[in-house]
Amino acid sequence: MLATTAQPSVVKPPEDPPAPKRRRKRLIALAIALVILAVAAVALRNTPVGQRIAGHGYDTNPLPVHAFALPAFAGAQYTLTYQDVAIDNGLATNFWFTEHDEIDFATETAKATLDFAKAPIIGGTISTPRSTSPSQQQLIDERSMYEPGATATDAWIRTPHPSGVWSAVLNKSEIYMYQDVFDPALREQHPSKVVHEVRHGTALTTYTYTFAYGDFYESAPHLFNLARAVDGNAADDAKVTATVSVDDHWVVRYLDVDVDHASVLEHRAKVDVGTKYPYRITLDLISITDQPAAITIPINVVDQQVDDSSTTVAP
């Protein structure tokens, strides 16, 4: 009998099993969940929760909602600058009036230095200002204003101000606190820029806001009232830039309201030639101090002549 060699049987590998149905169900559930999240995101994007999720609801330097007391101080220095535009001798012209005040609140006396300048506006750009007259100095007390005579040896000229023209300088009304500028409407505005800087040796936080001139009052009522001189001088779509700097005690150290001067020219100055129209007001608080300023009211004075009356030497 012949021997036979056994042939091994061939085993076929099993075929891949069909994908389980539950994987397909998971994909469907995931797609449905993504659709729900997308719909919810659209619905909530303008809500506080949605803004916070998007990273817009958090402020690294949130503005307080309460007022702050004015700190005690005896003296202050600040500069007020007013800028106007007009058509002067046929040219668009920018005018500056700058008032630098040093005040001794303890004795209710002040020294004011006044400067006037102007520059042509060429191609929409304001040129370098040039003084139009020498600086003027005035001394102020509760009742009178004093101006130097024609020469250094002449008596000072005294002008009573019973109407209280200078009372604002002597009673700290030009020293603003946070709440004098940041009303509820402005706190609702989103600043276009927030920076930390040092001005006159003081650390400040500076907030910059931009809005349309037509929305000025609704966006910042307190600022609008402080800069009321610009009221009505520009078109509604003109740009307004407001800059406010506060120190650690929430004293306003810098304040600037700037309306697009080109719009003021087009809207008012070119129509009413020769009339100056304000468009920018700047307050720069240089210092407040416990040491009162050394301001001396002159003794050698004469009263200003009124209605051709004789000049009277002050006692």
Q: What mean pLDDT comes out for the span 247-274?
A: 93
| Whether 216 and 258 share a structural domain | yes
List the structure tokens of 4: 């036979």
Count: domains in the chain: 2
Quick check: is 262 in a domain? Answer: yes
| Whether 156 and 227 share a structural domain | no
Instruction: Give the model's confidence band at 142: pLDDT under 50 very low, under 70 low, under 90 confident, else very high.
Output: confident
Quick check: is 234 in a domain? Answer: yes
| Whether 171 and 153 share a structural domain | yes
Q: What is the C-alpha to C-alpha distance for residues 91 and 124, in angstroms, rounded to an integer?
A: 12
Quick check: is 67 in a domain? Answer: no
Q: What mean pLDDT comes out for the span 159-167?
A: 70
Quick check: is 62 in a domain? Answer: no
Whole-number pLDDT of residue 18: 56
Whole-number pLDDT of residue 51: 45
Task: State the residue range of the domain holding 146.
Answer: 77-175+288-315
Q: Virtual CA dihedral for 255, 182, 293, 141, nearest 10 degrees?
A: 100
Quick check: is 243 in a domain? Answer: yes
| Residue 26, number of CB atoms within 10 A of its CB | 10
